[in-house]
Amino acid sequence: MCAVVAFVLRAYQLARPGYLLGVTEYDDGVMFGDALQFVSGVIPYRDFAVVQPPGSMLVVAPAALLAKVTGTAWGLALARILTVCVDTANVILLGVLVRHRGALTAGIACGLYAVYPDALTAAHTFLLEPWLNLCCLTGAVLVFDGDRMAGTARREGRRKEHATADTRRLALGGVAFGFAVTVKIWALLPLGLIALVLAVTARRARPVAVLAGGAVLGLGVPVLPFAVLAPGGLVRDAVTSQLVRNASGSAVSLTSRLADMAGLRLLSPRFPQPPVLIIIGIALAGLCAGAYLGGARRPTALDAYALLGAVAVTAMLLWPRLYYSHYGAFDGPFLALAIALSADRVAADRVAAGRLAARRAAAGSAAAAVAAILLLAMGISQLKTESTEQGSQLSAAADRLIPAGACVVTDDSAYTVAADRFSSSAAGCPPMVDAFGTLFALTGGHQRGATAAMLRPVVAVWQTTLARARYVWFTSDTIGQIPWNGELYDYFTGHFRLIGLAGQPTAWRYVPRPGLYVRT
């Protein structure tokens, strides 16, 4: 039932006008554009900047291949549909992970993630968090056998086939976690936590070594070809620049981040968030304290993984300089697990005290009330924003103004993908996909405070790119993406003229106004 609710809510988002074939994000156009270039034989990290590990291209490569037949707009639409299915599968995997603890525990875990606001945000288009959660949950389902972990049972009385099965599960679980790292480096955190819990519970080196071997395989096989073809670019784009970029202080307050992860962004901005956050924090602390302090049962390996994961991932999301709502989706499975497992332990203690019926009724009513409130709040929030995306209208206009197969350079690939003008048949068309990513990759993540010397390689890339372009489509003010100077501006204005889709003139000197330009 929870999976059905999750699918309906996520499919409803795509059913809104402009959300299946239109422009709704910057990142989805970039990541799908990366995959389109990759399946066309252009080498990522060498020929163009890619600021994510290669798994982001690999998971959507089938849709990118299909786009050669259907067009890029329908290729991205397929990637969006697949993301909805993947995030629905995450609900099922959560249920599989905790089903041994009973239907109520599984219902709480699945229900919370099904309506978790940040998970819904991440699933509205092709973003990485649903795919990251799929890999990590698959790994957890493989590694955990009920409350215990594979390979942690005593060796006495264990049959050979059982030991072999445990080894296989640990290895496959490691592969899943290793591949998760290729989707997003964040997966190193749950991989490290599950290895830590395994080391403590197994008290032997072999299970941890098997898990680590699988992780190396899952990480190494997808990354190796790119590391061979462009070792420096891979490290610079996907690792170094990201770390430097996010290590320079927070641009989003801790209160705003915590409110977002708690689902409070669905409420009015005038709503007093700090008091509610304090109440939620006290409630969660009380639930965990009641579940694990003073009880007769020791926390299981699954309990430890869920609690440590919820705390560690929440803390991790408070650190980067930038924060977006879809980031919180990575915390969703851990929060759902921690709450569901804690509630199960509290309920089990109540059962031991002889209050089974009351426990079932109270827990069931509370879960239903929480789900109903979240569903209602989300529905109201979505109804308020129901509208046709402006990006769809712009893409339709670009479809008329730009010939098929023309060489187009843009600051936002989502628009050329939606207009089916991303791929070019012109020889020598520049392969740039991500204008912003190119800036911070080539400045080592210092894009905000880059010196003139740091910006010189970026200027050179844009000089080459503009020299080979037939059309240039600036969808917004490009001051944060292109290091304009007098020479670059003079070249552009001397060789291109505005033909449509004009936006408001920019207030910056040496920065062209948004619009569609053609070479004169």
Axis crossing angle, helix 273-292 with helix 254-261, rounded to the nearest 10: 60
Q: What is the pTM of this model?
A: 0.90
Encoding tokens for residue 288? Answer: 């965990």
Question: Average pLDDT in the 118-128 region?
Answer: 95
Residues 54 and 188 in one domain: yes
Segment 144-174, tens digit of pLDDT: 999 999 877 655 445 666 778 889 999 999 9
Segment 283-334, tens digit of pLDDT: 888 888 887 886 667 889 999 999 999 999 999 999 888 889 999 999 999 9
Among residues 384, 411, 439, which one ends one of the domains?
384
Segment 72-114, tens digit of pLDDT: 999 999 999 999 999 999 999 999 999 999 998 999 999 999 9
Buried b (16+ CB within 10 A) or exposed e, 74-96: bbbbbbbbbbbebbbbbbebbbe
Residues 376 and 395 in one domain: no
Segment 33-63, tens digit of pLDDT: 999 999 999 999 999 999 999 999 999 999 9
Residues 401 and 324 in one domain: no
410 in helix, strand or coil?
strand
Residues 279 and 404 in one domain: no
Residues 319 and 399 in one domain: no
User: Worst-scoring range by mean pLDDT, 54-63, 115-124, 394-403?
Assistant: 394-403
Residues 370 and 394 in one domain: no
CA distance 112 to 259: 16
Segment 417-466, tens digit of pLDDT: 999 999 999 999 999 999 999 998 999 888 767 888 999 999 999 999 99
Among residues 360, 384, 408, which one ends one of the domains?
384
Residues 396 and 309 in one domain: no
Residues 161 and 268 in one domain: yes
Q: Give the pLDDT of residue 383.
A: 43
Residues 416 and 448 in one domain: yes
Q: Per-residue pLDDT for 266 more than 90?
A: no
Residues 434 and 468 in one domain: yes
Question: Average pLDDT in the 130-140 region?
Answer: 98
Q: Per-residue pLDDT for 335 more than 90?
A: yes
Inter-CA distances, 208 with 142, 152, 159, 168, 215, Å: 14, 10, 20, 13, 10
Kindly indicate the confidence band of residue 377, based on its pLDDT and cuts at 50, 70 and 90.
Answer: low
Residues 19 and 119 in one domain: yes
Among residues 330, 354, 384, which one ends one of the domains?
384
Number of structural domains found in the chain: 2
Instruction: Share the mean pLDDT of the chain.
Output: 88
Q: Per-residue pLDDT for 483 more than 50?
A: yes
Residues 63 and 35 in one domain: yes
Cβ–Cβ under 8 Å, residues 309 and 336:
no
Give the residue numbers spanning the domain of 241. 2-384
Q: Give the pLDDT of residue 275.
A: 81
